[in-house]
Structure 1
Amino acid sequence: MQQLLFAITTMAAGVLACVAYFYGTNWILDRIFPSKGLTGKVASRNLRITNTIRPWLFLGPAMVSLTIYLIYPVIESVWLSFHDKSGQTFVGISNFKWMINDGEFRQSIYNNFLWLLVVPAAATFFGLIIAALTDRIWWGNIAKTLIFMPMAISFVGASVIWKFIYDFRPEGSEQIGLLNALVVAFGGSPEAWMTLPFWNNFFLMVILIWIQTGFAMVILSAALRGIPEETIEAAVIDGANGLQIFFKIMIPQIWGTIAVVWTTITILVLKVFDIVLAMTNGQWQSQVLANLMFDWMFRGGGDFGRGAAIAVVIMVLVIPIMIWNIRNAAKEMEGR
């Protein structure tokens, strides 16, 4: 109860502080450059000045926050990547040479590559199929709500849920894990799924696909509803069947949205961390880059240089996809 009251108090204080800031800064601005009650050039000049300054009063806190919590950490990470374990002694590119020769780093790159191949494609595909199907049934909105619900769960919370699905008990014991319970029910032997190298990556991917399918479904459903009815009616008149309409008429018209969804999930996959940490902690050859960075940066005494170097690699991999995503989204908005 004490924690709940503290959280509510903190949120209320934050909201009140924001209201006080915006009202206070605008009040001060109007007092410094008054326009009411004045006429002529002075009123026009003051109004022009306040109109120029006022947007920055709203943008200012966000700009400061971005600088402190985004821009500064990027610069500091790049700086630390060229330093030793303590972050004090300059070592040049030694940390990057270590990465190239480190087997665990190569394993992490390989695993991230697997995630990149499977998760964006699967989540986008399932989201597209579900979006198309739920638009055709009367209880489609209910189905969409249920499918989107995992998006409201944190990655750690989702991992806990799936721990119960993958849970393993020795043969002969009662299986509380859903997957092993089904295996035993069909006469098979229970498996410790998370300890199976290579395959455990796919079991982990299922969790992120389960979460992100709802996101893809919502975006793609909106795109499908934006397709002009005239094009579909023309295809029907020309004798096209349902599959032909879907793949040759509808998908080409929303390809830009599909690409945006795909690349958005791709960026998320490159930064995946919570699921691996909660489910396997990177054991049994399931390590990914973000988890490896966390291990080097904060565990075993910490190595700021190597941890920062891995963070820089993640950033370098994300930036081109992010730029392409933004440009693609901008082009789509211009087309509308």
Structure 2
Amino acid sequence: MLEQLGSALVTVVLGVGGCVAYFYGSNFLLDRLFPAEGRDGVYRPRNLKVQSWVRPWLFLGPALLLLTIYLVYPIVETLWLSVHDRTGDAFVGGANYAWAFSDPQFRQSIFNNVLWLLVVPAASTFFGLVIAVLTDRIWWGNIAKSLVFMPLAISFVGASVIWKFVYDYRGEGQEQIGLLNAIVTALGGDPQVWIALPFWNNFFLMVILVWIQTGFATVILAAALRGVPEDTIEAAVIDGANPFQTFFYIVVPQITGTILVVWTTITVLVLKVFDIVLTMTNGQWNTIVLANLMFDWMFRGGGDFGRGAAIAVIIMVAVIPIMVWNIRRAQQEAGGH
């Protein structure tokens, strides 16, 4: 444990130190190569122009290089692999995509992803809004929001391990240590293998992501509620509106933009969900989603880079419209201000 902490500390120190050294070193070198003032004391406007053109790229360059290596290149390589065979050697055109849409497991993963998209963003946003409203006017509201936000600090794998103990099932005659089965047996019911129940097991997995993302929705929506002008609420109260009418007709329309941003952000996350399904069921019992199917075909028993890449491209294509919509909305709001 101490060795891991030590290596992490060294990594942080070296990373920060490297950034500082790059910043000062690159600027020092630029000033030396293109001095603003010559040895004769005369200013050199041309050098100043060169400095003003080069200096921004000293900051953008490393980021663009990393984006190219870790984002642009993988996208291009994935597109290339998706139109080649299992080894990436022979060109097969759209054969991998034709296989995908005719494969029963792929269709099952599409169905499961649609279920996740319908339930998780809506539930997380709804619970986040409810908690944000309920904790907005009480003195211990920040404490409550902090507690709700805490699951977001846990990794998906860690959260899945926690919920494995909630859904845990022991054989007949054994003491049930799973929280859910313990409650069921205490009420006189029969314990169940919850994560293996057909169809419903998908919802049991969704609960984990809702539990994690509700904290994110709560914090963002609570900030939006604080931005609602008090005079609009007071005017509604004076006009005789009850609390529900005030909330739905006055408050909600003013934070609709934030609600949509929260919903779409969680939607993008849901399209890429992987860790929870892998940890809880490994895609068994009809719980597989697109990311797990891609992982299986590319790195596990399938061993087919072409089919795995085709599934990855389909996930990317599904995410792009939502991201474009978010960016355009952000630009419109920025332009409006």
Partner of 1:208: 209
The answer to whether the Cα contact below 8 Å between 1:30 and 1:50 also exists between their aligned partners in 2 is yes
Deviation per CA, 1:279-304: give whole Å up to 9, x if none.
00000000000000000000026110
CA distance, structure 1, for counterparts of residue 67 and residue 171 of structure 2: 50
Question: Structure 1's 244 and 41: CA in aligned 2 closer, same or farther, altered over 3 A?
Answer: farther
Residue 29 of structure 2 is matched in structure 1 by 28
Contact 1:26 1:54 (8 Å CA) reproduced: yes
Code of the residue aligned with 1:271 in structure 2: it is K
Equivalenced residues, count: 336
Give the TM-score of the pair, scaled to structure 2.
Answer: 0.97
Query: 2:131 corresponds to which residue?
Result: 130
2:9 maps to which residue? 8
Cα 1:125–1:34 change in 2 (3 A) is same
The alpha-carbon distance between structure 1 residues 22 and 285, as it changes in their structure 2 partners (threshold 3 A), is same
Q: Does 1:109 align with 2:125?
A: no
Cα distance in 2 between the residues matched to 1:103 and 1:266: 24
CA shift in 2, pair 1:187/1:38, >3 Å: farther
Task: Rate the CA distance shift 1:50–1:133 in 2: closer, same or farther, 3 A.
Answer: same
Q: Does the residue aligned with 1:246 lie in a helix, a strand or coil?
A: helix
Write out per-residue CA displacement over residues 49-86 of structure 1, whole angstroms, 9 at most, x where no aligned residue.
22222121111111100110001101110100000110
1:316 aligns with 2:320: no
In structure 2, the partner of 1:176 is 177
Residue 283 of structure 1 is matched in structure 2 by 284
Q: How high is the sequence identity, in percent, across the aligned residues? A: 71
Judge conservation of contact 1:171–1:189 (CA < 8 Å) in 2: no
Return 153-162 or 30-39, whichever deviates more. Answer: 30-39
For residues 19-44 of structure 1, the C-alpha deviation after alignment (integer angstroms, 9 at most, x for no partner) is 11111001001111222578998443
Structure 2: runs of 5+ lacking an equivalent: none
The whole-number CA distance in structure 2 between the counterparts of 1:153 and 1:208 is 11
Structure 2 CA distance, aligned partners of 1:302 and 1:13? 38
**C-alpha separation between the residues in 2 aligned to 1:316 and 1:39?**
60
For 1:209 and 1:270, how far apart are their aligned partners in 2?
A: 14
Q: Is the 8 A contact 2:37 2:43 kept in 1?
A: no
Q: CA deviation at 1:334?
A: 2.6
Which region of structure 1 is more displaced relative to structure 2, 50-59 or 258-267?
50-59
Alpha-carbon spacing, 1:89–1:131, altered in 2? closer, same or farther (3 Å): same
AA matched with 1:120: P
Q: Displacement of 1:129 after TM fit?
A: 0.9
Q: Distance in 1 between matches of 2:169 and 2:116?
A: 24
Give the corresponding residue for 1:221: 222
Question: In the alignment, is the contact (CA less than 8 A) between 2:296 and 2:302 conserved in 1?
Answer: no
Name the structure 2 match of 1:270: 271
Cα distance in 2 for partners of 1:320, 1:155 equals 25
The CA distance in 2 between the partners of 1:38 and 1:174, in whole Å, is: 86
Q: Say whether 1:296 aligns with 2:297.
A: yes
Give per-residue Cα distances to partners, 1:128-184, cap 9 Å, x unaligned: 111111111110000000000011011001001100100011232111110000001
Change (3 A) 1:22 1:88: same
| 1:159 counterpart = 2:199 | no
Secondary structure at the aligned position of 1:20 is classed as: helix
Deviation at 1:257, TM superposition (A): 0.9
> Mean Cα displacement is larger for which, 185-194 or 27-36?
27-36
Offset at 1:326? 1.1
1: CA distance, partners of 2:32 / 2:229: 52
Paired residue type of 2:18: A
Question: 1:247, 1:38 → 2: CA distance?
Answer: 71
For the residue of structure 2 that corresponds to 1:173, the secondary structure is coil
TM superposition shift of 1:206: 0.3
Q: C-alpha separation between the residues in 1 aligned to 2:59 and 2:284?
A: 46
Instruction: Report how far residue 120 of structure 1 moved.
Output: 0.4
The one-letter amino acid of 1:278's match is: T
For the Cα contact (< 8 Å) 2:81–2:309, is it kept in 1? yes
Higher mean alpha-carbon deviation, 105-114 vs 53-62, is at 53-62
**Distance (Å, rounded) in 1 between the aligned partners of 2:136 and 2:39:** 58
Give the aligned residue type for 1:327.
R
- Aligned mates of 2:152, 2:331 — CA distance in 1: 25
